[in-house]
Every structure is written in C-alpha cells, then in structure tokens.
Chain A
Amino acid sequence: MTKYITRRIFYMFITFFLIATATFFLMKALPGSPISSASKLSPTQLAVVEAKYGLDQPIPVQYAKYMLNLAQGDLGNSFQFKNASVTDLIIDRLGPSLILGTQGLVLGVTLGILLGMIAALRQNTIWDYGSTFVAIIGISIPSFVFATFLQYWLAVQWELFPVALWKDGWMSSVLPSIALAMGPLATASRFIRTEMIEVLSSDYITLAKSKGANGFEIAFKHAFRNALIPLVTVLGPLAAGLLTGSLVIEQIFAIPGIGEQFVKSIMSNDFSIIMGTTLFFSAFLIVVIFLVDVLYGIIDPRIRLSGGKD
C-alpha cells in the first residue's frame, strides 16, 4: 500500500511538471501578447512594460523563474486585473464554483442513486424504463443546451428564478446547480442500476432471502451498501465532467467563478491567468483521481492496490 501510494505520488508530480512545462511553452508560442492588444504603446513604453513583467528576458530564464515561483505556490501576476496576483484571483473566484460544484454533485448523485435503485428493484417495469430514459437524456443532452433551456423556461418565461448573476443569494445557485447535476445524475443512476442487479443475483442475497429477511432489509442493508462501493470509481470522471460543465454553465448564468474567468482570460490572452487556472484545474483533477484510487482500496478490502496495471 505505502509503496503504491509513493509510486502514485511520484507519477502525480511528473504529470504535473509536464503539464506546467507544456503550458508554459504553449503560452510563449502564442501569437500576440496581452500587452500588444491592450493599448497603443510607443516602443519605449513597451520595453518598460515588458521589463516590468520580465518578458524581455530569454525564455529559458523566464521558464526557470516561473517554475521556481510555482514551487512556492506563486502563480505570477495578472496582466488584465490591475496586476493582481493570480493565486489571489483564483481564491477570490473559488467560492461560487465550489458551491455550485458541490450542490450539483450532491443533488445529482443522490437523485441518481435513488433512480438507479428504483430501476434495479423494479427491473423491466415502467419504473426501470423511466429511469433509464432519464439517464440517457442526462448523458446525451449537452449541459449547455440543457442549461439554456432551463434558463429560458424557468427564468425568462416563468420568472421563478433569477436569469443570471450571483446576487440573489441561494436562489441564483439553483438553476446552475440543476444544470450541473444532470451529468452526475445520469452516471450514478446507470452505475447503481447495473451494480444492484449484479449484487441482487449473488449468493449472499439468496441466503438473506432464505433466512427470511424482508425486502426492505435486503435492498438497503445488503444490496445497496455493496453496490455503493464501486460508485467511488466514477467520482474521478464526474469531477472532470463538473469542471467541463462549470466552464459553460458559469458563462451562461454569469456566475463569477473560476470557469467564467478562465474563458474570459483565453479571449483576452491573459496568459498568466490561463496558466494559473490550467495548473489549478490539472492539480485538482490529478489529486481527485489519486484520492479516488486510494479510497477505493481502503473501503473495499477485496481490491488490492499493487502495480496499478490492468
């Protein structure tokens, strides 16, 4: 176990290092710089500004500096937002994104588990088909299409919720959370359904039945708990999906979160923010996938973590 974790952490650092390096050089190779599009500067002024941001130094030096700062958690300064530190900008924007992500995940996974359980316990009935239908819709319809329709019907037409912006407190988080929840809901319900069906046909369920345990006890105490374990494995892809979703959904509902800032910074070529956010997203996903793998080994003793080969 310790050996496995050490190995995985080692790989995490290599992956992160490669991402940081690739991001840096891709950003340097970008045509245009944030300064060139900002204003009409004379060559002298341009030189002064470039010197201020260290853009006049050779690229290897800039790279070494960036990596050294990165190791200390300093992601550089933004060109766009009055020279603010990128780390601060990310932390400022973290709140709304975290709230939406958590609400979406919790709502989606809870409803998904419920739907999946109903489908498995009432296999091949109208309940089952209904839940499968919802799951297919949730997987298939792109989140931004779903979000725009939520916004159009519930906010613009019926005026139940605020259309956009993050100022009406909890009410403004409802629609974006529902839009984000669709993916996790679909994944969780399909997953739980197949797991439950498999568990329900296993020997220990037959034994529980022959002992005279009632249906409720079998469903929750025996089947559900064992079906839940493998759900941990999809948390990694779900987190990645939530991130992807947050980019468009924050845009649609004008939420001042990280995703919205990321998309804006791409448009304005603000490469310290692009890099900072990219690295933040990567680190987040790498850590989530790692935690999921380790957690899975801990909660299900049948899985032995070893070489990591499949």
Chain B
Amino acid sequence: MPHINDIALELKKIIAAQNVDYIEARLESGRSCRLGYRGRELETVAESASTGGNIRVLHRGGWGFASFNRFDGLKTALSRAVEGARLAGSGSSRLAGTEPVTAVLPKPRHNPQLLTLKEKKELLDGYNDIMWQQAPLNTSFIGYSDGYKTTLFLNSEGSFIEQSRADINLRINAVAGKDSTVEQSGISLGTTGDFNQIRGLEKNVAEIADKAVALLKAPRAKGGEYTVVLDPVLAGVFTHEAFGHLSEADFVYENERMRELMTLGKVFGTSQLNIVDDGTIPGLRGTYHYDDEGVGARKTYLIREGKLVGRLHSRETAAKMGEEPTGNARAISYRHEPIVRMSNTYIEPGNATFQEMLEGITEGIYVKNWYGGTTSMEMFTFSGGEAYMIRNGKLGELLKPVVLTGNVFTTLMNIDAVGSDLEMNQGGGCGKGGQSPLPVSNGSPHIRIRKCLIGGQ
C-alpha cells in the first residue's frame, strides 16, 4: 500500500485538471485501540488500522462525493464524484472565500499508540478492582479507546494541509441491582492523547460504585415543573444540545423560517448569558488547527449578554448567509463529507456562588452528571446521572436519575443565575447526520433554570 503523502501528490495533479467549480480531497491514516471490560472480565482487546480517502466536488451548487479505502481505484472515485456533482448541480456554487493554506502542523504532544497494551490494562484493571471491592455490584462496564490519525487535505484553490490528532476516551459504569430494579452510575472523560490525565481516578471510581448501590434505595422525583440547578457537566451538555445545535448554520441557511427565528441580535436569554464555541483552546478534545475544509478554527461568540451574535459555519453556509466562515466544517472520518459541527462549546462564567443559587428555592432539584441528551431544535431532553431534592435553600435526599425536557427557547430565557465555576466536560462525543462520535467538549459553570419540566409519575 502506498503512503498517503504519495497519493496526495498524485491527487494534486489530477484535481487541478478537472473542469468543475471546486474540488478537494482528504486522505487519512490512523491506528486505534480498544479495551472493554464487562464485569470483572477484560472482554475486548482490539487493535485496528484504517487508511482511506475521499474526493468531494462542487459544481453548480451540487455536491458529489466518493470515499474509498483502496487506492487503486482513484480514477473511478474521481469520476464518480465529478459525475455526482454534475448531476446534482443546477444552480450556482457559492463558497465563502478563504486564503489557501499550505501547512504541516506540529504533531500532537502525546501519542497513546506509543504506550503498551500492558500499561493501559494495568490502569484499567486497577479501576475495575476498586469498583468491585467497593460495593456489591451486578456488573460494570469500562470502555477505553484511543487513536492517532494523520489527515491530509488538499483543494483546487491550492491548499495543502497535514495535521494529526490524538484522542483518548474513557467511560466507566457501575451497575447495581436488587429484585427487578437496576441502577447505574458512571463517569466519562476524554483527553487529547495524554494518558496521564486518566490516571488518579481511584476515588471517583469508588464513588460511582457506591452511588449505583445508593440509587437502588433512592426515591423517585415526582414529575412536574421545578426550579433546577445543573452542575457544570450537565449544564455543558445542555449548552451543547439545546443551544449549540441550533447555532449550526446548516439547519438555518436554506430555511427562511429558521433564518427569521435565528436573526442576529434577537434576545435569547438574560444579560448574564454568554455562550461561546472555541476550537482553539489547547488541550481540549474539540480543538483543531484547521477544519475539514481547510478553514482555521476560531473563537465564535454565539450569545453575548443574552443576544444572538453569531453562528457556526461551513464555507457554503457562510457564503449563502453573507457571514464570515468560522472553521466548523468537520467530518468524523474520510468516509463522510464535512458538515457543520461544534468544537468546544461553553457558557462563560458569571458570578453567582452555588449557595446563592440554592437560596430562595422552596422545592427544587439539583441535577448532576449525565447519561445523554438529544434535541429536535425546538425541544430538548437530557438525562442527569444523579439528582438531589432542594428544600428551603438546602440540598436534601438523593433521588433516582431524572430526565429533563423542555422548549429550548423558553428554557434559555429561564436561566436566571450563572455560577463562577466553569468546568469543561471532555467525555463522550457528538452525533449528527450519521457521524458519531465526533470529539467535542462542552462546559459551563453551575446554572439555575426556573420552571423546568422533570419526567416522572
């Protein structure tokens, strides 16, 4: 198999010769490793190697795309992408202008592929032992994955970018059961390849084992409207799900009604609310130098003092909306076209303390941690990993996990306090358009939301 750099040079000549509006190619080569425990057993140890690429063509507003992992069929892939774009296009091609970039970016500081399987296994074995010594569990799950990949990007405007990224993702779940009730508690974290950042979790691991058992006896919240306080992890998920996706311009640019709804300057929250997407923060999983269209990552204010001030763009959505590109076109791998995605999305810190947020709540719920979340633009649901009653300004008993739901627009307006304790959540990943999980991070300080709907009997 030829090296992807050789293929890239060959492609460079080929794409220059095509009579289409725009053409680009992306080549990728990577290795990854997975370890999976179920219960006490290390069940999955797997290594994988992946190499492949794609060619994407824009002609008269239509996109053709061909992906492959055999390089002997480059010409076929090229003609399919060109043919696809020619058939799909019937209008005019519009892409926001960017300066062509020629760059070989520095390699990531850490490469988890250089560690031995033995080192990875020893750390995880240790965590598993702690969980099982700590509490009577039904089962447990540990999912560890790491990867390192190099991507080459080139286009018909003369860009040629080589960048590499490293990634580690870890999720640990403890499951306890009694009779027909089963409860679980977990942690999820990620790093940009630095294995040391997932060391030292002994205390957290013991805590989730205890928590899973404690949840068996915890009462269930009564469903209905509450004032809720969210911890930074769950508030980060809320920011990503409920607002972040709404600011992705591909949902807006072709839709007159959405454009009206998302007019810049419109008030979305109180003056305390500031939301940012920033792909340039060192050490975060959503960080990159250039997106998959060769546009540099940047910091974009989405909401400033409660007002909508920006959104996330690809080159096409930026051109069609007459706005600046933001470097948010990302693809999960060479098998997919880049689409508008978040990077690191967070609520900027305010000045309320946790205690101040609890004050004045007669009956409310404090929700921490998360299972997941999803949105339909207008509505969202997200699930907390643990919850506590708040009564007369004080934290009360542990509750079984709750699902929160609501209307995005009303709920953003109902955020009435923003804490000062910003934390970024690096676990998991984002799914959109069949591309999951994309490394992103999200974050927030503690926030308080009035009138939030909690599911339950």
Say whether A associates with B: no
Q: Which residues from chain A sit less than 8 Å from chain B, CB to CB? A: none
